[in-house]
């Protein structure tokens, strides 16, 4: 669940064992001029976040709540054409109190219009994870993991998928407003 109000986000993450409030001011810069942002973008996003985490169960670091400072950097190249679009991003974040706790990753997407608004979409990504500070101290059961009620320690995450989409309506419906990648 995400509630967004300006730069303040509130999350409740049962799977990740926390609920938190995040204040996340940031800056974004597109290398390409705004006049071509509907065709190509090379965005650099940087945010400094303050997160107050309240853990549902005590963590492996013996915490029930904590106040964290996080910085994150995301670089995204997006190319948009009449036939579709392609995008690739590299992102990383870490905690200011311990630079050994970090998450870096890459993700990409490809969309191709087949005809008259019908598109096929492919996407995927990979992350190196070293920041699972919210893992519960108590052991979970196999059922908890399989039903996605509990997260387990890992060093990586990968995902992929495909889909079909159909766009209709105004000729202006492909207007791009990339603010922080839609986050």
- What confidence tens digit (pLDDT) does each residue in 72-91 have? 999 999 999 888 999 999 99
Number of Cβ within 10 Å of residue 10's Cβ equals: 14
Are 72 and 49 in contact by the 8 Å Cβ rule? The answer is yes
Which pLDDT band, with edges at 50, 70 and 90, does 15 fall under? confident
Tell me how far apart the alpha carbons of residues 173 and 183 are, in angstroms, rounded to a whole number: 19
Of 159, 157, 148, nearest to 17 (Cα)? Answer: 148
Q: What percent of the chain has pLDDT over 90?
A: 57
Mean pLDDT of all residues in 27-41: 90
52: containing domain: 2-182
Count structural domains, the chain: 1
| CB burial of residue 134 (10 Å; 0-12, 13-18, 19+) | buried
Rounded to two decimals, the pTM is: 0.77
Which one is predicted more confidently, 16 or 77? Answer: 77
Are 5 and 13 in contact by the 8 Å Cβ rule? The answer is no
For 81-127, the pLDDT digits (tens) are 888 999 999 999 999 999 999 999 999 999 999 988 899 999 999 99
Element (H, E) at 143: helix 142-146
Residue 181 has pLDDT above 80, yes or no: no
For the chain, what is the mean pLDDT? 85
């Amino acid at each position: 669940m995400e509630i967004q109000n300006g730069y303040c986000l509130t999350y409740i993450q049962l799977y990740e064992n926390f609920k938190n409030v995040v204040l996340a001011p940031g800056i974004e810069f597109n290398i390409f001029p705004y006049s071509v942002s509907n065709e190509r973008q090379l965005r650099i996003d940087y945010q400094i976040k303050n997160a107050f985490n309240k853990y549902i169960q005590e963590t492996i670091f013996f915490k029930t709540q904590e106040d964290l400072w996080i910085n994150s950097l995301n670089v995204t190249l997006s190319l948009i054409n009449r036939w579709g679009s392609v995008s690739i991003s590299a992102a990383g974040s870490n905690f200011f109190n311990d630079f050994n706790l970090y998450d870096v990753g890459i993700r990409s997407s490809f969309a191709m219009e087949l005809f008259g608004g019908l598109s096929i979409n492919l996407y995927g990504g990979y992350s190196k994870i070293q920041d699972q500070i919210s893992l519960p101290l108590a052991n979970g059961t196999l059922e908890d993991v399989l039903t996605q009620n509990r997260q387990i320690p890992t060093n990586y995450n990968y995902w992929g998928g495909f889909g079909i989409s159909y766009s209709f309506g105004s000729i202006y419906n492909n207007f791009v407003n990339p603010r922080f990648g839609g986050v």
